[in-house]
Structure 1
């Protein structure tokens, strides 16, 4: 459990909690803002916003602001993807996965009319619809395995780095390395290995209305099944967050998972409208790593992945002209500001070697898996299902299998199988 999650689940400051004398203890005061990190984060956020507007124009500045909002929501809601599957597989706790179902249901309901009517600000919105093939199966399994070893997912890596989780910096490094390897090896998986068609339920006779109805029914069924599993396995109750009331809870406290679910779905819909495609994360890691390799003399532009017109233009342009990169940087800084304002920003100076190794290995597996599977827990799972793509569902099923394998591998890196109260990503 991370330092952030210790703060969420400590149970300190609950109203009416009594000590040994029987007297009611005073509620614990919320932590004070960390002024220096807050000032640094605010300055960096404003400076990067200005630079983004200069390099990429107003649309890129809007996407950067949406990225900041994503970082704030992810931090305050501690919205976990890694742990949602871990909790379900390990102990049958489905609370976090039900939050996923709510997020996906709201996103589907928002995406359907936007995609059907082509609603975009200067762009023609397109969902994430990718082929069904061996690359998705292998990539999603590697990603699920890597999540449990690396201790985070794609979105969790960004907001935990912003929140001061030093170990996750090594996960990010591994993510970038794995993404570059995946880009280098991309043609093997997509051109050589067996691959089927890209299928969107909305492009069948069902249309968007029918696709939405089917998606909502499946999401509801999954939520119901998690409750049945919980009744049979009787998992321990998740911990209660510290009591922070009123406006202080918005700025310093933890938000309910359902609030995070709805907010993330809404921000993804905004991304679709202004970017022309759903929220994504890991394509930026491939770009950052490939630009670094290019700077070291590696001819990455000759790779098939970077030879397509769209990717070649992305590689040639500045990083701040790349929407996903801009949003990723916004997530990091948004989480930094939120963590500092909430008094939770803490840098850990020492990371145990096994944890460091697990973070790097897990990051490499996730980076490679995300490239060959056409996305990560955000692009493939969240964006794919919200776009009514069958590859999103395939990705989710296989990633759960990878999660099971990851739980078996965690002790090799000094990691225990967490308690169900652990809702870190």
Structure 2
């Protein structure tokens, strides 16, 4: 299962099933906590991050993985992150949200995901690659003894721990404790949901750990998977682990929707929904391609590394989301 296509598919199946049952969408989580004072999904996402933060460190300490924080290109994470955040609102879901909703029969999600893949691919390896290059080259930290980090010629992407020169365990424990204090010592919004936020968060965090073990180079992701699915389907390029993971998400969500009688082909009557899906999917895809990751690659998988790149990108995912929602609805 380690490093194999079937491993990626199995991880995706589990992740897709969980996303569908937990209703985990980071677009909704970010929007709800600001505009509706509803922190249910937000707490679920943070629970997953706390579990992954401790889990990744434990796996690295045991030699199961090497921590591989995402490349730090400040301008790319700021601009790409903000664009991604705006795109989430227009598309009606984050990268993982539109992916699992395809499995529920959502036609708009298919459109959003298609344009997501096209523009992410263009930003990374296609006709928009030259624009991406304008944001600069990665900033790294030189480490004589990288320890638990995956290093290339002694160079590692910056994290809170390696910038401060302290044991990553210290940073991870402090960060997780801060999250747990918020989760359990603040009021939680009431919501009827198929899965309690604590259960959903813990299980998603555990799947993230499984993904890291299976993939070895990184944990869960979406953007590279969509690029691979389109590229491998349309050319003679091979399918890879993350491509199979994304396919698994769709199938896993479909299985969950069928089992719990929630599958339904949905075609919105409002033409504006389709226009928003195109623009939102394109914005998300370009933003993720530029920023080096989406809400899964940076937020769910990158923040547990305490990677500076992922912390910065996540901050601008949030700001972009809030800005676009305010622009469309908040001023009323």
Q: 1:199 aligns with which of 138, 158, 170?
A: 158
Q: Which structure is larger by alpha-carbon Rg, 1 or 2?
A: 1
Aligned partners of 1:72 and 1:334 also within 8 Å: yes
Q: Distance in 2 between matches of 1:239 and 1:263?
A: 19
Q: Distance in 2 between matches of 1:84 and 1:225?
A: 19
Q: Which residue of 1 aligns with 2:175?
A: 215
Distance 1:194 1:223, change over 3 A: farther
- 1:214-253 matches, cutoff 5 A: 214-220=174-180, 223=183, 227=187, 238-241=190-193
CA drift of 1:216 comes to: 1.7
Q: Which residue of 2 aligns with 1:287?
A: 228
- 1:94-105 matches, cutoff 5 A: 94-105=39-50
* Residue 113 of structure 2 corresponds to residue 168 of structure 1: no
Q: Which residue of 2 aligns with 1:13?
A: none
Q: Distance in 2 between matches of 1:67 and 1:129?
A: 21
Q: Which residue of 2 aligns with 1:181?
A: 122
Distance 1:223 1:259, change over 3 A: closer
* Residue 92 of structure 2 corresponds to residue 92 of structure 1: no
Moved over 6 A (4+): none
- 1:317-332 matches, cutoff 5 A: 317-319=237-239, 322-332=240-250
Aligned partners of 1:134 and 1:194 also within 8 Å: no
CA drift of 1:62 comes to: 2.3
Q: Distance in 1 between matches of 2:186 and 2:294?
A: 23
Q: Distance in 2 between matches of 1:401 and 1:239?
A: 25
Aligned partners of 1:202 and 1:211 also within 8 Å: yes
* Residue 5 of structure 2 corresponds to residue 60 of structure 1: yes
Count, aligned residues: 311
- 1:233-312 matches, cutoff 5 A: 238-241=190-193, 254-276=194-216, 277-290=218-231
Q: Which residue of 2 aligns with 1:402?
A: 320
* Residue 23 of structure 2 corresponds to residue 78 of structure 1: yes
CA deviation vs aligned residue, 1:197-250 (integer Å, no higher than 9, x gap): 4312343522221121232244346658975xx8xxxxxx54424xxxxxxxxx
Distance 1:76 1:154, change over 3 A: same
Q: Distance in 2 between matches of 1:217 and 1:337?
A: 35
Q: Which residue of 1 aligns with 2:63?
A: 118
Specify every segment of 5 or more residues in structure 1 that has no aligned partner in the other structure, as ranges. Answer: 1-52, 231-236, 242-253, 296-315, 418-425
Distance 1:178 1:399, change over 3 A: same
Aligned partners of 2:108 and 2:267 also within 8 Å: no
Partner SS for 2:302:
helix
